[in-house]
Amino acid sequence: MPEIKTDAAVLGAGPAGYVAAIRLAQYGKKVVVVEEDNLGGTCLNVGCIPSKAMISAGHFLEQVRGAGEMGFTVAEPKLDLAKLVAWKESVVQRLTGGIGMLFKKRGIQVVKGRGVVTSPNTIEVQTADGVTRVSARDLVLASGSEPATLPGFEFGEHVWSSTEALAPEVLPKSLLVVGGGYIGMELGIFYAHMGTQVTVVEALDSILPGTDPELTKVVARKAKKAGIKIQTKTFAKEWKKKGKGVEVVLEHGGETKTLTCDRILMTVGRRPRFEGIGLENIGLKTVKPGFLEVNAQRQTKVPHVYAIGDLAGNPMLAHKGSAEGLAAAAAIAAKPGAAYDVKVVPAVIFTDPEIAYVGLTEKEAKEQGFKVKVGKFNFGANGRALSLRAAEGFIKVVADAEDDVILGVQMVGPEVTELIAEATLAIEAGLTAEDVALTVHAHPTLPETFMEACEDVHGLAVHAAK
**Could you write out the DSSP letters of every residue in 12-74?**
--STTHHHHHHHHHHTT--EEEEESS-TTHHHHHHSHHHHHHHHHHHHHHHHHHTGGGGT---
Q: Is residue 348 part of a domain?
A: no
Which of 220, 237, 268 finishes a domain?
268
In a domain, 439, yes or no: yes
Give every CB contact of residue 407 below 8 A, 6+ residues apart in sequence. Answer: 359, 360, 365, 370, 372, 398, 399, 400, 427
Indicate the helix (H) or strand (E) that contains 331.
helix 318-332
Percent over 70 (pLDDT), the chain: 100
Residues 134 and 181 in one domain: no
Closest by Cα among 145, 110, 89 to 39: 110
pLDDT tens per residue, range 378-431: 999 999 999 999 999 999 999 999 999 999 999 999 999 999 999 999 999 999
Question: What's 142's domain CATH number?
Answer: 3.50.50.60
Which string of DSSP letters, residue by residue, matches 385-443?
HHHTT----EEEEEEETTT-BEEEEEEEETTHHHHHHHHHHHHHTT-BHHHHHTS---S
* Residues involved in catalysis: 443
pLDDT at 33 over 90: yes
In a domain? residue 416? yes
409 domain-assigned: yes
Q: Both 133 and 169 in a single domain?
A: no
Task: Evaluate whether residue 296 is within a structural domain.
Answer: yes
Q: Is the pLDDT of residue 465 over 90?
A: no
pLDDT of residue 416: 98
**Residue 284 near residue 302 (C-beta atoms within 8 A):** yes
C-alpha torsion sign, points 291, 295, 296, 299: negative
Tell me how crowded residue 354 is: count the other CB atoms within 10 A of its CB: 25
Range of the domain at 366: 353-457
For residue 187, the number of C-alpha atoms closer than 13 Å in the C-beta half-sphere is 32
Distance CA 453, CA 29 (A): 46
CB 131 within 8 A of CB 16: no
Looking at residue 1, what is its pLDDT?
Answer: 87
Same domain, 257 and 277: no
pTM across the whole model: 0.96
Burial class (CB in 10 A: 0-12, 13-18, 19+), 142: buried
Does 14 share its domain with 141? Answer: yes
24 has pLDDT over 80: yes
pLDDT of residue 336: 85
Helices then strands, counting H and E runs in the chain, come out as 13, 22
Between β-strands 159-160 and 263-266, what pairing exists: parallel, antiparallel or unpaired? parallel
The mean pLDDT value for 8-37 works out to: 98
Residues 322 and 397 in one domain: no
Residues 239 and 285 in one domain: no
Task: Please work out, in degrees rounded to the nearest 5, the angle formed at the alpha carbon of residue 358 by the alpha carbons of 355 and 362.
Answer: 95
Residue 154 lies in a domain: no
Q: How far apart are CA 363 and CA 303, in angstroms?
A: 40
257 close to 273: Cβ distance less than 8 angstroms: no
Sign of the Cα torsion 413, 418, 419, 423 reads positive
Spell out the residues 6+ positions from residue 208 whose beta carbon is closer than 8 angstroms to its own. 180, 181, 182, 185, 215, 216, 219, 349, 351, 355
Residue at a domain's end among 268, 283, 318:
268
- Asked if 138 and 23 sit in the same domain, the reply is yes
**Same domain, yes or no: 31 and 137:** yes
* Alpha-carbon span 116 to 122, nearest angstrom: 9
Are 21 and 133 a contacting pair, CB within 8 Å?
A: no
Task: For residues 19 and 95, state if they share a domain.
Answer: yes
Shared domain for 141 and 275, answered yes or no, is yes
Across the chain, mean pLDDT equals 96
Q: Are 420 and 346 in contact (CB under 8 A)?
A: yes
Q: Is it the case that residue 466 has pLDDT exceeding 80?
A: no
Q: pLDDT tier at 131 (50, 70, 90 boundaries)?
A: very high
pLDDT at 463 over 90: yes
Domains identified in the chain, total number = 3
Domain check: are 142 and 29 in the same one? yes
pLDDT band at 288 (very low <50, low <70, confident <90, very high): confident
Q: Are residues 295 and 363 in the same domain?
A: no
Domain of 443, CATH number, reads: 3.30.390.30
Per-residue pLDDT tens digits for 255-284: 999 999 999 999 999 999 999 999 999 999
Mean pLDDT confidence for 156-166:
96
Q: How far apart are CA 35 and CA 307, in angstroms?
A: 15
